[in-house]
Amino acid sequence: MADLEKAKATQLHNIEIKTGQKLSALYDQIGASGKVSHGEVRTWVMEKFGLGYGDANALAHAVKAVTSETPTADDPLDAIYAGKKEHLRGIHDALIAAISLWGEFEQSPKKAYIALRRKKQFAMLGPKNLGSSELGINLKDEAASSRIIPQKPGGMCQYAVSLKNVDDIDEEILRVLRRAFDVAG
């Protein structure tokens, strides 16, 4: 194991020599590039610094190791509601505020949505497209609503409703969501 760590250290030292820059400066430039995925970082490093695949791959791994060790205070919702979806964050905040009045629950961020759980998941919430958010509701019994649409069996949620603005969160939606909340907990 020590030999592997020594080989990695030697390769990173050689990358410093090839690029004429310290690793910290390389890490800063990679961070500023906006590249996030391993493949994006590797390709960018190859183009920017003229490194071969192996060295670029090693540098991409090193950057990921350094950044994953550093805790961040970033809100996962910032990534979900980024860019042209930013205006949908108000819908999310209003719905969470309403649910919070009912009792404790957990918000579990995923890549494109937030899972809402008690003992079981009762809903999911996230952008559907650039113009609306989607609230998925886990409820086995009938929702009895023209706005809350039944989903195909086997999906993540039994019902879904499109929310285009905060005013779409009305008594009908909250009544059905509250039933799902109660059953989940």
pLDDT at 73 over 70: no
Q: What is the model's pTM?
A: 0.59
Rounded mean pLDDT of 59-84? 73
Rounded mean pLDDT of 70-99? 82
Which pLDDT belongs to residue 72? Answer: 45
Which pLDDT belongs to residue 67? Answer: 62
Which pLDDT belongs to residue 68? Answer: 57
pLDDT band at 1 (very low <50, low <70, confident <90, very high): very low
Which pLDDT belongs to residue 36? Answer: 80
More confident residue, 174 or 156: 174
pLDDT at 65 over 50: yes
Mean pLDDT of the chain: 86
Strand, coil or helix: 92: helix
Which pLDDT belongs to residue 74? Answer: 64
Rounded mean pLDDT of 59-70? 71
Which pLDDT belongs to residue 69? Answer: 47
Rounded mean pLDDT of 79-98? 90
Residue 127 CA to residue 91 CA, distance in Å, equals 10
Which pLDDT belongs to residue 115? Answer: 92
State percent of the chain over pLDDT 90: 45
Which pLDDT belongs to residue 37? Answer: 84
Which pLDDT belongs to residue 156? Answer: 79
Tokens representing 30 are 């990679």
pLDDT tens track for 35-63: 888 888 899 999 999 999 989 888 888 88
Domain 76-183 has CATH 3.40.50: no
